[in-house]
Amino acid sequence: MNESQRAKIILKILNKTYPSIKVPLKSRNVFTLLISVLLSAQCTDVNVNNVTSKIYPKYHQPKHFVKLGRKKIEKLIKKIGIFRIKAKSIYNLSKILIEKHKGKVPKTYDELEKLPGVGHKTASVVMSQGFGYPAFPIDTHIHRLAQRWGLSNGKNVVQTEKDLKRLFPRKNWNKLHLQIIYYGREYCKARDCFGVTCKICKTCYPKRTKPIKTKKA
């Protein structure tokens, strides 16, 4: 079975398992989506949603966070990992959005990735979930599963993104990236499946008997 055949099987299983999918991070607009994705680094979506549920009803525009200032932002997000660094990024990117983008989140990768704290993965999520642009955000979660399922050689997330975009139809990217995340959390966990117990792993590699080791991104 080659990688293209595996990709078709995986897409079929994921569509059957998750015919519809919800965006895990809750937001009020594209700006709050950007903030939530930034906050989700090294933090669970559940924790981010719990924290932002008390923030977004009152603060949901760049001008709100500029007015708050770094110290008050820190207090609001202190239950989230590396909150001081993230507070600094939120404050600075809010200022830039006001000064350079009229308070709006830019719709290009180039402009998004120039914002403090915003890398390619964060920009991809915003482009996908905020603007509906076909994108394939790759985090360490998807990177690990792509190796496990034989879709990428796993050298880095950049290569993994190229491989997955090549293997799957463009129209599926936005939904597929979420399907893979949900499937990994539920069925192909890092320390449970090891590439030998879930339906995808068993279907793609019926003869695999030993746990597979994956490389870090």
Residue 212's pLDDT is 83
Confidence of residue 211 (pLDDT cuts 50, 70, 90): confident
pTM equals 0.91
SS3 174: helix
**Could you tell me the two tokens for 77?**
């997000």
Q: What is the largest CA-CA distance in the chain?
A: 60
Q: Over 80: is that where the pLDDT of 49 sits?
A: yes
Nearest to 175 by CA among 41, 21, 10: 21
Q: Residue 6: CA atoms inside 13 Å, Cβ hemisphere, count?
A: 21
Given a cut of 90, whether residue 138 has pLDDT beyond it is yes
Active-site residue, 121 included: yes
Give CATH superfamily name and number for 30-130.
Hypothetical protein; domain 2 (1.10.340.30)
Instruction: Using DSSP, state whether 103 is helix, strand or coil.
Output: coil
Determine whether 16 is an active site residue: no
More reliable by pLDDT, 216 or 80: 80
Domain ranges of the chain: 3-21+136-204, 30-130
Q: Which of 54, 121, 189, 202 is catalytic?
A: 121
Read off the pLDDT of residues 191-210 as tens digits, 9 standing for 90 and up.
789 899 999 999 999 999 88
Q: Which CATH number fits the domain 3-21+136-204, given the four candidates 3.40.50.150, 3.40.1160.10, 1.10.1670.10, 1.20.1250.20?
A: 1.10.1670.10
Catalytic residue among 45, 88, 139, 175: 139
